[in-house]
Chain A
Amino acid sequence: NAGVTQTPKFQVLKTGQSMTLQCAQDMNHEYMSWYRQDPGMGLRLIHYSVGAGITDQGEVPNGYNVSRSTTEDFPLRLLSAAPSQTSVYFCASSYSWRGAGTEAFFGQGTRLTVV
């Protein structure tokens, strides 16, 4: 049982490049989300999904796209990377969005640097 798996762990991008951060979970969780962690700001929600085919924006969605074609996968796309997107990105999943308060399981994080 792998839990939540994020790839890659580290990435350096040039300004303007695009890339996809991968996230997969094997717990059959309905709810998946992406957060970014910046110094002094805690974790902020980028996008979330309550099930396959359903996504919505979080607090800081600009510059990012998501899709959820399967229950297991929730990739995060950076369309045109900017230095302001230098951050640590975490994917999380939890059993059900209907029962608010279920424990969130986090991936190991992706450290992204945009130069």
Chain B
Amino acid sequence: AQKVTQAQTEISVVEKEDVTLDCVYETRDTTYYLFWYKQPPSGELVFLIRRNSFDEQNEISGRYSWNFQKSTSSFNFTITASQVVDSAVYFCALSAFAPGGATNKLIFGTGTLLAVQP
């Protein structure tokens, strides 16, 4: 079975604080992909990053960074020096190869609501 767990339901920080959003996944597949999406108050889903199971290099994009650790099945997301505009719901998702071929079916976690206070 495949599953994504985001144990943090809500996080509240003050602007300029660093914050880490946790994501733990379960899959028996050896080839899989992990994603983070942002859902701001306006409601749309914005793609942030994709990582495949063979690439454990951490990635940094501006104030955003991602830490992928296969040993702990985690794909955590850190925002450095948070800003009010970072306030959103963040979803971690998993996509894995299915028997008979690949699939782009995304399995989402339940999301973490991040509130950044000024």
Q: Mark A70-108, 1 if CB is under 8 A from B, else 0.
A: 000000000000000000101010101111111111101
Interface residues on A, range: 20 to 34
Is B8 engaged at the interface, CB distance under 8 Å to the other chain? Answer: no
Kindly list chain B residues whose C-beta atoms are within 8 Å of the C-beta of A99. 102
A31 to B91, CA, bound (A): 21
Shortest CB distance A53–B (Å): 17
Q: Which of B60-68, B72-80, B106-114 contacts A (4 or more CB under 8 A)?
A: B106-114
| B95 touching A101, Cβ below 8 Å | yes
Closest to A94 in B: B104
Is A33 engaged at the interface, CB distance under 8 Å to the other chain? Answer: yes
Is A68 engaged at the interface, CB distance under 8 Å to the other chain? Answer: no
| A101 touching B43, Cβ below 8 Å | no
| B91 touching A100, Cβ below 8 Å | no
| A97 touching B102, Cβ below 8 Å | yes
Partner of A48, one of B6, B43, B105, B110: B105
A45 to B102, CA, bound (A): 16
Kindly list chain B residues whose C-beta atoms are within 8 Å of the C-beta of A101. 32-33, 50, 52, 95, 104
A84 to B2, CA, bound (A): 25
Shortest CB distance A39–B (Å): 9
Closest to B107 in A: A45
Is B57 engaged at the interface, CB distance under 8 Å to the other chain? Answer: no
Kindly list chain B residues whose C-beta atoms are within 8 Å of the C-beta of A48. 104-105
Kindly list chain A residues whose C-beta atoms are within 8 Å of the C-beta of B97. 100
Is B45 engaged at the interface, CB distance under 8 Å to the other chain? Answer: yes
| B96 touching A106, Cβ below 8 Å | no
A41 to B111, CA, bound (A): 8
Shortest CB distance A88–B (Å): 7
With A42-B91, A42-B110 known to touch, is A31 a contact of B44 (CB < 8 Å)? no
A5 to B50, CA, bound (A): 23
With A40-B110, A42-B108 known to touch, is A100 a contact of B44 (CB < 8 Å)? no
Shortest CB distance B56–A (Å): 15
